[in-house]
Amino acid sequence: MKKVIVTGGLGFIGSNLIELLLEKKYKVINIDKNTYSSNFYNVKEFKKNKNYSFIKCDIANRKLAKIINKHRPIGIFNLAAETHVDRSIDGPESFIQSNIIGVFNILEIFRKFSVKNKKSRLVHISTDEVYGDILTGRTKENYPYNPSSPYAASKASSDHLVSSYVRTYKIPAIVTNCSNNYGPKQHPEKLIPKLIYNIITNKKLPIYGKGLNSREWIYVKDHCEALIKVFEKGKIGNFYNIGSNKNVINLDISKKLIKIAKSKIKLGKNVKIEFVKDRPGHDVRYALNSRKIIKKLKWKPKINLNSGLKQTFEWYLNNIKYFKSVNKDDIVRRLGLKT
């Protein structure tokens, strides 16, 4: 049986990826530090699966070497990271620690491990935010990095570290840069689940600035399918953009969610859009050119935005307990205004 490690598997994308890997008959070891953004609710459907196990560990901790050497995985998907841009504005230190030092630790361990385990591969999961503000056009993989927030800069730094280790030490690693994900199990500090939470609990829907920031939304399962394709068929040392090619401004996302909600529940009188002070350094637009993965690895996204949003809304509605499993203060408190 093919054994892989997923780091950050108690988080949003990691837990969705594990679900898919188990469906595809992989044996999965989930390594997670169990930070505020992690949630055991996310793994409850498969926590008893005999092919799944969990180990609590910080990717920046040297004891990670023991775990990797003991389990000898044929692959490591690195998703462990601090991920909320607003938090990175308030306090960048944990982002440097997990997203840069943590990746450095993985690379040092993997560099030695891969000498004897030649078939093993590291897939490092990154973001479109590393390219910075893209006012027109769409960025290809060779577009220069120009990150705007401490979060994006920490991810950019880790991507550079990975590619330098490929070049210098010839480690078998690949980097993926994906656009904004949405779907079940995302922490409600992020836009879409926060809007859904506020709709369900009859609160105003806070939108930064005038709601004109444009993001390329991809359903999380489409991203996870792409990651497995990259792991199985991707070329070592390559970067792969993963996007839906579909940009939508935040204002339209909230209007779409209100429309979906109206067809499912009776809306409270407070449910209306409220424009709030913008995030400092807020990028206007990200947009990826994902032709490389579509052409070379024969992947394409399957779920369009309207049906993905509908499925997402339904998931949160059917999993109201999920919101209760998250610290309420982490949902409602506004972050990222300190400059």
Q: How far is the CB of 263 from ligand NAD (least distance, A)?
A: 26
Between CA 308 and CA 303 the distance in angstroms is 6
DSSP letter for each residue of 262-297:
HTTSPPPTT--EEEEPPPTT--SB--B--HHHHHHS
What whole-number distance in Å separates Cα of residue 66 and Cα of residue 55? 12
Q: How far is the CB of 321 from ligand NAD (least distance, A)?
A: 18
Of 66-74, 179-187, 313-321, 328-336: span binding ligand NAD (CB under 6 A): 179-187
For the bound state, the minimum distance from the C-beta of residue 230 to ligand NAD, rounded and expressed in Å, comes to 13
**Cβ proximity to ligand NAD, 149 vs 271, nearer residue:** 149
Near ligand NAD by CB under 6 A: residue from 19, 32, 86, 283: 32
Residue 81 and residue 53 in contact, taking contact as beta carbons nearer than 8 Å:
no
x/- track of binding to ligand NAD for residues 245-264 (CB under 6 A)? --------------------
Tell me if residue 95 falls in helix, strand or coil: helix
Cβ pair 21, 6 in contact under 8 A: yes
CB of 242 to ligand NAD, least distance (A): 8
Candidates 84, 65, 81, 89; CA nearest to 124 is: 81
- Counting contacts by CB under 6 A, is residue 105 touching ligand NAD? no
Q: Contact at 8 Å (CB) between 92 and 152?
A: no
Q: Which of 19, 27, 37, 195 binds ligand NAD (CB under 6 A)?
A: 37
Residue type, 309: L
The answer to whether 311 and 305 are in contact (CB under 8 A) is: no
Structure-token pair, residue 280: 């400092």
Cross-strand pairs, 52: 28
> Is 226 among the residues that bind ligand NAD (CB under 6 A)?
no
CB-closest chain residue to ligand NAD: 11
What binding mask, one character per residue, do residues 136-165 give for ligand NAD by CB under 6 A, x or -?
A: -------------------x----------
Among 24, 34, 264, 268, binds ligand NAD (CB under 6 A): 34
Q: Based on the residue annotation, tell me whether 151 is a catalytic residue of this protein.
A: yes
Point out which span in 78-86, 226-234, 248-256, 315-323 binds ligand NAD (CB under 6 A).
78-86
Q: Report in angstroms how near the CB of residue 49 gets to ligand NAD at its nearest.
A: 18
Please indicate whether residue 141 is annotated as part of the active site.
no
Please, what is the minimum distance in Å from the beta carbon of residue 84 to ligand NAD? 7
Active site residue 128: yes
Helix (H) or strand (E) segment spanning residue 14 = helix 12-23
Catalytic entry in 58, 128, 159, 222: 128
Contact 82, 119 (CB under 8 A): no
Which of 182, 165, 175, 178 lies closest to 231 in space, CA to CA? 175
Determine the residue type at 100: I
Q: Write out the catalytic residue numbers.
A: 128-129, 151
Site residues (vs ligand NAD, CB under 6 A): 7-8, 10-14, 32-35, 37-38, 58-60, 79-83, 98, 102, 125-127, 155, 178, 180-181, 187
